[in-house]
Amino acid sequence: MKHDCTWSQLINSVHAVTTKQCVQNEDTIVHAIAQTAGQLNLSDPDLESVRKTVPTPTDEPYISQCVHRAPGLQISVIKLPQDGYIGLHDHPQMTGVILCLSGQLRVESYDLVDNVTGADHVMLRLISDAILLPGQVGTLTSQRGNIHRLTPDNSAVELIDIFHPGYTPARLAAASGYVIEEGSGNSLFRARRTN
C-alpha cells in the first residue's frame, strides 16, 4: 500500500466521508476512513508538527489530546509509554479508526453479548486480538468491537484515534470502563462495569 497521503489530505477525506448527505452505514464509513488513514505518510511534516504538540507521558498510563474537531468528528493523538495502557472501555454510538503511528499496539476488541447478567455486569465476546504496526489500522462501530483495550507490545506507542461522531458531554457520560472477572474458555467473558 502506498503511504503518500498527507495530514491535510487525511483531514479533508475524513470530513468528506463524515459529512456526506446520503445515508451511510457505519461499516462503510469506517472502511472509507481506514482506507485513507492506512495511506497516511507517517513522515509528513504537518503530521510531525501535530505529533510534537502532544506531550510524552511520564507518570500516566497514556496521554490523549484532541488535535482536530469538527461537527460530527474528533481526531486525537494518543501516546502510551512502554508500560502504559488504556483499559477496557467503550465508545457509545460512535465509530472509530485507530491508526498506529509508532511502536507496536495490541488491540483487544470485544462485542457486547448480554447486557442483563446483572446491574453492573455484562457478557463480552472477544472478536479480535491484534497487533498493529506503524501504518496499520483497526476499526470499531457502535455494534462491532466497540469495547476494547489498548496496550503497547514491547515499546512505547503513538496512535491516532478518529471518531465519528466525536465526543459530546452526553457520550462521555454514557461511556463505561470494564473489568473482566472471568472467562468461559471460548472467548466469552463476564465483565463488570466500572462507571
Give per-residue burial for 51-73: e unless 16+ CB within 10 Å, then b: beebeebeeeebbbeebbeeeeb
The pLDDT mean for the chain works out to 91
Specify the higher pLDDT residue, 22 or 6. 6
Mean pLDDT of 4-32: 88
Q: pLDDT of 74-125, one tens digit each?
A: 999 999 999 999 999 999 889 999 999 999 999 999 999 866 555 678 889 9
How far apart CA 90 and CA 94 sit, in angstroms, is 9
pTM, entire model: 0.93
Q: Which domains occur in the chain, in start order?
A: 54-193 (2.60.120.10)
Distances (CA, A) of 160 to 10, 66, 139, 184: 12, 10, 12, 33
Kindly indicate the confidence band of residue 147, based on its pLDDT and cuts at 50, 70 and 90: very high
Quote the pLDDT of residue 113. 87
